[in-house]
């Protein structure tokens, strides 16, 4: 197979597979070849299982030859952020703590992808335990942005975004707790969707902040992302927070939903801190929708704009401090050789196993929950979270979706913000409130800066309105050629 | 100075369910180490809890049995602390909204003798909540081993008000609670298997004082008699400290039942900050009226209610009721036998004396007894109808117990029918009178009891078949 397929859409690949013009083994080998050729510079993969992937590909080809192909994802390679468990594959969370850990079981999304015939190829880099916005907090080193190797790919799903943008893989699954799918999608010029909380099972996702985490699809087009979302969504009896929602055929819905829509533009998301070039790109996207007959109305989300980051860092760190307590060196994971007794085993193993940002958040979260501070921090944060949710409900009374920048800036330089955690936290200012409210949102490319860096448009929807959200994004995508640009590596 | 002790108990009871509290893996005891585990039990990355409804059914049933108010919503919290027996290093528990609030355990204190009912009290409960059990540590010389088989087993924590004042009351509380949980089918409450565990909070104060003294938590009371002994010991220890001019230190002490002594484990300064917060992995569960109704239908009659009924309706002696009611199956057995028309008093006696003795000797549970209520009812009717004597009935009962045959069949087969043939009886009595002139003389002199010797001789000669009432009449007539 030629490298022409590297940036093909999943529809094209599926058609080629179905038509016998391409085999899954050929496609998988092409991905492996691309990985080998660019990984030295991009460093998106923590590991990849070449023999395992080729074995899955041969099975897929055999199924197809026997007339038992399972659908559009059969034979298509999909990369997984290295926080999603796949039986027999490493699950490192980009942490020293789990550097040698192999999962003995499948996450529900992994089992669903296997059932759909997808080839689970590649464990993708991230900020350790999904804590960060640049993938620089990985214990195994940072991933580079394929558009400019001196810049970050965003995070925490930076490996997934970079791998898809670089043509290493057609699709990937990321996870999004405060923007970790959308922000790297924006910075790498791809499409990434954070589903409604409860649409996709979290079973098998190493937890960062349970009430905010969602697994979501990342791809080079809205249609690709729609296809992958359909494969992973749906109620899971193993996840008590998974909801019994109807899962439509998202791809088919794209063809039906054509607008026009009532689109809200939150005034507070265009204020100080927004890079002018990013702002201009988003404004021109808004103008596009207006030109297509959509009603554009300015809306206000004052609480979300003012308090989302503070609320997020109280709730997410509190949950993280408890979720990460299981990494203690007793049953699995890093176990300090220096420990003298049980308590020392905890101290040493966790001191050696966790990186700076993870420790910072565990300490913060432990403080937030501690006796005497709980009411002032955690409880109050939950109350403000409820108010932020209500604020969105109110705004959605008059809007089908909201438009905003995904990130205030395009990709920043490696190391630029790593010494300043607060500056790093502010990169998620437009994405975090969406997680607090449990809403679905996606980022779709909407142009490039003068330096040739991608810019993302965030579209926020109402709960379980992913089909509508994807349709709004597709309308823009079809009228623009951004997705046909690829980084030169 | 006299002192009053104030005692509150915290009792942990495992709920007997097929699977664990938050996952499908089996709950059980005595399996090879770390075999009752899965990703959830071992807290592997990505594993999530899903509530086992049967465990919630169990705690709600316990709450209904003990008269608690059942919360309309079951909410879960995380209790955070590091310990190697806790795989997640937090325990899923209930903090500010326990599933059961209030309620009480009715207890009976020892009476003046075993034939006389003791004083009854109602010990109020603070709350009952549901949580998951932890694993088990085994400490070696240079290492410690963890077995997670027990981890994640559903566990109720039943907390009493500080409303008990003696070790006997605490003992009675635990006994009554254990019987209730076993009778409700909620737990087997086997303390050796850790299915029931008890900690006690104990303080003393001068008699008449209303404020509470400094409390000491006593742990490791791992048998029901250790609870009584340990609490009695701690009360004596505290009084001795105060009498010697010392002050009680708030601390946790461990009782060593074998040595009959306690030692300090940790002081208040080392108390944990558990950082409770609502578990974001679990949704609150609504407990509606239909759910409660379904469980209410399975709540058995309380032991002391049953005892009061047996005393009033069946006119049973207290000593018999106190044998029958602690074992639900035994009480059911009694009632079924009585329902078949046999005299309740006689049935009670047969069960409390003969049946239980035979079962104990044969090491059999009641369920495996070949003597079923229908057998026993027939036996009692045979005695009451004068077909066999009580003495013969004992013999028949032994045969019933061994063979499972109906008593009437045994009586016929072995020719044990009581003799009321006057001619035959007169011959036996005449022989007996002739053989014991001394007894005859004593009887004539007014000693009623002397007749017993004659009657005994007749019963012996008749191999128990003589009708005792007729023997008595005939003997008086022949002597007179």
Asked if A87 has any chain B CB less than 8 Å from its own CB, the reply is no
Within a domain: A334: no
Within a domain: A37: yes
Establish, for the pair of chains A and B, how many residue pairs have beta carbons separated by less than 8 Å. 100
For residue A63, the model assigns a pLDDT of: 98
Q: Is A81 a catalytic residue?
A: yes
Preferred mutation among A235, A321, A322, A365 to probe B, highest tally of B CBs within 10 A: A322
Whole-number Å distance between alpha carbons of B278 and A319: 10
- Look at the block and give the residue holding tokens 């609150």: B284
pTM of the predicted model as reported, rounded to 2 decimal places: 0.92
Average pLDDT of span A49-60:
97
Within 10 A of B336 (CB to CB), how many other CB atoms are there? 15
- The per-residue pLDDT for range A342-399, each reduced to its tens digit, is 889 999 999 999 999 999 999 999 999 999 899 999 999 999 999 999 999 999 999 9
User: Can you name the residues that pair with B167 across neighbouring β-strands?
Assistant: none
- The per-residue pLDDT for range B233-263, each reduced to its tens digit, is 999 999 999 999 999 999 999 998 888 889 9
CB contact under 8 A, A342 and B45: no
Instruction: Search chain B and give the residue with CA nearest A91.
Output: B45
Catalytic residue (choose from A23, A24, A81, A443): A81
Tell me the pLDDT band of B172, cut-offs 50, 70 and 90.
Answer: very high
For residue B266, the model assigns a pLDDT of: 76
CB–CB of A174/A183 below 8 Å?
no
Sign, Cα dihedral of A28, A30, A36, A38: negative
Instruction: Search chain B and give the residue with CA nearest A347.
Output: B82
B49, B82, B275 ranked by CB distance to A369: nearest: B275
CB–CB of B206/B248 below 8 Å?
no
- Nearest Cα of chain A lies from the Cα of B97 at a distance, in angstroms, of 15
Asked if A111 has any chain B CB less than 8 Å from its own CB, the reply is no
Q: Is A417 a catalytic residue?
A: no
For residue B269, the model assigns a pLDDT of: 61
Within a domain: A131: yes
Q: At residue A275, does pLDDT exceed 50? A: yes
Residue A177 belongs to domain spanning: 7-300+393-484
**Strands of B343-455, DSSP E:** none
Asked if A371 has any chain B CB less than 8 Å from its own CB, the reply is yes
Lookup: tokens for B406: 């109906």
Preferred mutation among B48, B80, B138 to probe A, highest tally of A CBs within 10 A: B48
CB–CB of A28/A77 below 8 Å?
yes
For residue B271, the model assigns a pLDDT of: 67
Lookup: tokens for B61: 């049933």
Asked if A489 has any chain B CB less than 8 Å from its own CB, the reply is no
CB contact under 8 A, A101 and B46: no
- Nearest Cα of chain B lies from the Cα of A245 at a distance, in angstroms, of 16
CB contact under 8 A, A103 and B87: no
Q: At residue A83, does pLDDT exceed 50? A: yes
Tell me the pLDDT band of A34, cut-offs 50, 70 and 90.
Answer: very high
Strand, coil or helix: what is B448?
A: coil
Lookup: tokens for A48: 């990849």
Within 10 A of A272 (CB to CB), how many other CB atoms are there? 5
Within a domain: A253: yes
Q: Does domain B422-479 have CATH number 3.40.50.720?
A: no
Work out how many domains chain A is built from and give that number: 1
CATH number for position A33? 3.90.1300.10
**Mean residue pLDDT across chain A:** 96
Whole-number Å distance between alpha carbons of B478 and B427: 11
Domain(s) labelled CATH 1.10.10.410 in chain B stretch across: 422-479
Within a domain: A340: no
Catalytic residue (choose from A180, A321, A418, A443): A180
Instruction: Search chain A and give the residue with CA nearest B272.
Output: A371
- The per-residue pLDDT for range B181-200, each reduced to its tens digit, is 999 999 999 999 999 999 99
Asked if A68 has any chain B CB less than 8 Å from its own CB, the reply is no
Average pLDDT of span B310-332:
96
Query: ipTM beyond 0.90?
Result: yes
CB contact under 8 A, A241 and B281: yes
Preferred mutation among A90, A238, A372 to probe B, highest tally of B CBs within 10 A: A238
CB contact under 8 A, B88 and A325: yes
A203, A209, A332 ranked by CB distance to B46: nearest: A203
Average pLDDT of span B143-152:
95
Within a domain: A1: no
Instruction: Search chain B and give the residue with CA nearest A87.
Output: B39
For residue B463, the model assigns a pLDDT of: 82
Sign, Cα dihedral of A387, A389, A390, A394: positive
Q: Render A168-216 in DSSP notation, one character per residue.
A: S-SEEEEEESSSTTHHHHHHHT-EEEEPPTTTB--TTBPPS-TTT-EEE
């Amino acid at each position: 197979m030629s490298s022409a397929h590297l940036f093909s859409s999943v529809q094209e690949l599926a058609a080629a597979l179905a038509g016998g013009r391409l085999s899954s083994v050929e496609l998988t080998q092409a991905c492996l070849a691309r990985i080998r050729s660019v990984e030295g510079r991009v460093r998106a993969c923590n590991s990849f299982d070449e023999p395992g992937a080729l074995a899955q590909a041969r099975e897929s080809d055999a199924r197809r030859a026997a007339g038992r192909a399972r659908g559009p994802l059969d034979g298509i390679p999909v990369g997984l952020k290295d926080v999603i468990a796949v039986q027999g594959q490493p699950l490192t969370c980009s942490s020293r703590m789990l550097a040698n850990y192999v999962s003995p079981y499948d996450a529900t999304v992994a089992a669903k992808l296997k059932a759909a015939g997808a080839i689970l190829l590649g464990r993708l880099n991230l900020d350790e335990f999904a804590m960060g916005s640049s993938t620089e907090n990985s214990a195994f080193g940072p991933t580079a942005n394929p558009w400019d190797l001196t810049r970050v790919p965003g995070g925490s799903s930076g490996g997934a975004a970079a791998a898809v943008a670089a043509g290493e893989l057609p699709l990937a699954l990321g996870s999004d707790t405060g923007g970790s799918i959308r922000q790297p999608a924006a910075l790498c010029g791809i499409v990434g969707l954070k589903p409604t909380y409860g649409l996709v099972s979290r079973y098998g996702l190493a937890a960062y902040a349970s009430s905010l985490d969602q697994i979501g699809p990342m791809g080079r087009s809205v249609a690709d992302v729609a296809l992958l979302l359909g494969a992973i969504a749906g109620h899971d009896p193993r996840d008590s927070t998974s909801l019994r929602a109807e899962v439509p055929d998202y791809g088919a819905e794209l063809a039906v939903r054509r607008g026009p829509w009532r689109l809200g533009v939150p005034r507070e998301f265009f204020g100080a801190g927004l890079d002018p070039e990013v702002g201009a790109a988003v404004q021109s996207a808004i103008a596009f929708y207006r030109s297509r007959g959509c009603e554009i109305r300015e809306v206000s989300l004052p609480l979300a704009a003012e308090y989302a980051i503070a609320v997020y860092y109280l709730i997410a760190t509190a949950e993280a401090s408890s979720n990460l307590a299981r990494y203690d060196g007793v049953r699995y994971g890093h176990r300090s050789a220096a420990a003298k007794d049980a308590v020392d085993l905890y101290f040493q193993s966790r001191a050696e196993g966790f990186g700076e940002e993870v420790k910072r958040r565990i300490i913060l979260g432990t403080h937030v929950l501690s006796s005497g501070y709980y009411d002032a921090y955690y409880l109050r944060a939950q109350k403000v979270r409820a108010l932020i949710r209500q604020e969105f409900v109110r705004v959605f009374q008059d809007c089908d979706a909201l438009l905003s920048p995904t990130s205030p800036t395009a990709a920043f330089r490696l190391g630029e913000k790593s010494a300043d955690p607060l500056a790093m936290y502010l990169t998620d200012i437009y994405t975090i409130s969406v997680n607090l409210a449990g809403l679905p949102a996606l980022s779709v490319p909407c142009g490039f800066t003068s330096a040739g860096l991608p810019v993302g448009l965030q579209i926020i929807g109402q709960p379980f309105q992913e089909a509508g959200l994807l349709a709004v994004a597709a309308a823009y995508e079809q009228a623009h050629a951004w997705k046909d640009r690829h980084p030169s590596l | 100075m006299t002192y009053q002790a104030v005692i509150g108990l915290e009792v942990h009871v495992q709920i007997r369910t097929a699977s664990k509290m938050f996952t499908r893996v089996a709950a059980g005891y005595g399996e090879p180490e770390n075999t009752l585990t899965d990703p959830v039990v071992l807290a592997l990355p990505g594993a999530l809890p899903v509530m086992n409804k049967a465990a919630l059914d169990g705690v709600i049933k316990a709450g209904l049995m003990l008269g608690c108010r059942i919360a309309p919503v079951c909410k879960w919290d995380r209790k955070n602390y590091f310990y190697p027996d806790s795989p997640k290093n937090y325990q899923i528990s209930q903090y500010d909204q326990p599933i059961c609030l209030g309620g009480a355990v009715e207890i009976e204190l020892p009476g003046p003798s075993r034939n006389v009912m003791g004083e009854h009290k109602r010990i109020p409960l603070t709350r009952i909540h549901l949580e998951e059990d932890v694993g088990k540590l085994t400490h070696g010389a240079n290492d410690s081993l963890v077995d997670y088989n027990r981890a994640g087993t559903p566990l109720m924590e039943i907390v009493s008000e500080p409303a008990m004042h003696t070790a006997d009351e605490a003992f009675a509380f635990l006994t009554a609670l254990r019987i209730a949980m076993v009778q409700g089918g909620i737990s087997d409450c086997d303390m050796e298997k850790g299915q029931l565990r008890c900690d006690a909070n104990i303080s003393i104060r001068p008699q008449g004082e209303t404020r509470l003294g400094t409390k000491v938590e006593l742990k490791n009371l791992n048998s029901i008699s250790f609870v009584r002994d340990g609490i009695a010991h701690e009360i004596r220890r505290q009084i001795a400290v105060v009498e010697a001019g010392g002050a009680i230190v708030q601390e946790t002490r461990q009782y060593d039942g074998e040595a009959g002594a306690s030692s300090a484990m940790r002081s208040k300064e080392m108390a944990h900050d558990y950082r409770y917060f609502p578990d974001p992995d679990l949704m609150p569960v609504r407990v509606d009226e239909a759910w409660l109704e379904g469980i209410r239908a399975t709540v058995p009659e309380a032991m002391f209610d049953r005892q009061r009924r047996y005393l009033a309706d069946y006119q049973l002696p207290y000593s018999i009721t106190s044998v029958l009611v602690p074992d639900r199956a035994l009480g059911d057995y009694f009632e079924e036998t009585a329902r078949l028309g046999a005299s309740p008093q006689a049935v009670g006696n047969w069960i409390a004396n003969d049946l239980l003795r035979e079962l104990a000797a044969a090491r059999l549970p009641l369920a495996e007894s070949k003597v079923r209520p229908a057998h026993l009812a027939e036996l009692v009717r045979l005695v009451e109808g004068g077909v066999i004597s009580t003495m013969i009935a004992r013999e028949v009962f032994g045969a019933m117990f061994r063979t499972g045959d109906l008593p009437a069949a045994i009586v016929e087969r072995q020719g044990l029918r009581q003799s009321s043939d006057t001619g035959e009886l007169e011959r036996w009595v005449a022989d007996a009178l002739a053989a014991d002139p001394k007894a005859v003389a004593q009887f004539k002199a007014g000693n009623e009891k002397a007749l017993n010797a004659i009657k005994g001789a007749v019963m012996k000669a008749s191999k128990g078949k003589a009708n005792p009432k007729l023997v008595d009449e005939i003997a008086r007539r022949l002597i007179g």
